Structure formats: structure tokens, C-alpha cells
Amino acid sequence: MVRGPKVAMVLAAGIGSRMRPLTDHMPKALVEVGGKALIDHVLDRLAEAGVETAVVNVHHFADQMEAHLAGRERPKVLIADERAGLLDSGGGIRNALHLLGDAPIWVANIDSLWLDGATPPLEQMKAAWDPAKMDMLLLLVPKGQGIGFEGPRGFFIDAEGRITHSQDDANPAPFANVGFQLMKPQVLDGAPDGAFSILPTWWRLQDEGRIYGVVMDAFWMHVGDPAAREAAEARLK
């Protein structure tokens, strides 16, 4: 197993409005698929990849989240509290930098599951990561190789692995973002406090030729709403 980052940021603070009514009384991260909470699927994957510490941001039903995570030992969980207000993807990471340290980190969403292909996707990412030429590496999946895809937007990838984020609905991109990244925390140097999206950081790194992608051969399941949850349950069975 290739050595990779030992620290991860798990983005788990969202309201999960598309997952209602399941999220009327619990955070999306605690919705179960295959008998296991979404966040535990993610934390287990990170532990398998060698992650020792996971920083989890909380907001919606934050007390439930903290109680659920209190018993985790592998990886050890630290809480980034967003009870005062959601900070979005970029702001959530920026708010937790004091817990994440200076070395490269994993960043993971909590609504992505997969059935392994020939190589575990996080091992693919570790093997592809080259900090000399990249500041961020995204895990991608070919569209059609999974369930729960949303819309035509996504990524193009060149022969060297550099990626371009497509926002042109008329020119559908062939790859979707799985929601797992490797990144240098320094890409957020100078970012403001408060809520902001990670997307402008993607676009800046794209212009600088410093954002890359690796394409998984696993079957991806994006669990974004109750129908996708049911489909993922069926696939896991």
C-alpha cells in the first residue's frame, strides 16, 4: 500500500434538504445505507487508506453527529463546529485548517459509496499524487459507471491527467466528480473567513495547470436523495 496523507477533512455539515424526509430528524451523514451510516462508510474507506485523523464539520443536528462519532477510534475524529452557520465547501475546510495541519490532506464528501474495481480508488489516488506538479487531485468516474449522476456538468481530462471543469450544459463532460480529493491546504492561503465555495479554487488551479484527476474503475453510487439511497441499497445487496 502506497503511503498517503494521514489526515482527512470530511464535509458533513450540510442540511441534506434533498434527502428529506429522512433528514427532518437526523443529519444526512447518519442516514444508513446497507446497515451503516453514510459517514461510517466514508470513515472506513479513509481508515483503509491509512488515515489516522479525520476532521468532521458539523452543523445540522450537530449533537447527534458528535454523539455518534464519539466512539470512533480508527480514524480518530476531531470536530470542526459550524453550529453558528454553514461555511460551504471552501469555508468549511478553511475553518478547520488549524486542525488539519500543513501537510497534504484528503477531503471527502459523505454521500459517495462505491463497489471496488481492480484497484481500490483511494490507492489509485495515492499512486497518482505528485506534489511536485499538482496542488489538488480529484477522484473522477466515467459517466454511466454508477448511479445518482446529476446533470451534464463535470470534467474533461487530458493525456497528462490535468482536468478542466465544464460548466457548459451544451457540451457535457465525460467524467463526474466522486467527491474525494487530495489537496495541499496552502491552496486556501489568503482565503477570507466565512462561507465560500471550493469551486473558484478549482478554477484558479485549472488556469495554473495544478489540478489533476484520476479515473476510478469502481462502480460509484452518489447517495443524494431517498431514491438514490434505495438504488444504492439494492446494488449493495
The single residue listed with the C-alpha cell 463532460 is: 173
Residue 48 and residue 23 in contact, taking contact as beta carbons nearer than 8 Å: no
Instruction: List domains and CATH numbers for the chain.
Output: 7-236 (3.90.550.10)
The single residue listed with the C-alpha cell 453527529 is: 65
Backbone angles phi, psi at 21, to 5 degrees: -85, 0
The confidence score (pLDDT) of residue 151 equals 63
The confidence score (pLDDT) of residue 10 equals 97
The confidence score (pLDDT) of residue 152 equals 63
The confidence score (pLDDT) of residue 118 equals 76
Backbone angles phi, psi at 210, to 5 degrees: -115, 10
The confidence score (pLDDT) of residue 186 equals 96
The confidence score (pLDDT) of residue 2 equals 67
The confidence score (pLDDT) of residue 167 equals 73
- Angle (CA) 202 206 211, round 5°: 75
The confidence score (pLDDT) of residue 193 equals 84
The confidence score (pLDDT) of residue 1 equals 60
DSSP string, 130-196: -TTT-SEEEEEEETTSEE---SS-EEEE-TTSBEEEE--TTS--SEEEEEEEEE-GGGGTTPPSS--
Residue 1 and residue 48 in contact, taking contact as beta carbons nearer than 8 Å: no
Residue 203 and residue 196 in contact, taking contact as beta carbons nearer than 8 Å: no
- Signed CA dihedral, 129, 124, 13, 227: sign only: positive
Distance CA 31, CA 35 (A): 9
Distance CA 132, CA 134 (A): 6
Q: What is the CA radius of gyration of the chain?
A: 17
Q: Which residues of the chain have pLDDT under 70?
A: 1-2, 150-152
Distance CA 213, CA 28 (A): 27
Residue 42 per-residue DSSP state? H
Q: Are strands 219-222 and 146-147 parallel, antiparallel or unpaired?
A: parallel
Distance CA 219, CA 138 (A): 16
List, for residues 153-167, the tens digit of each pLDDT value. 789 999 999 999 987
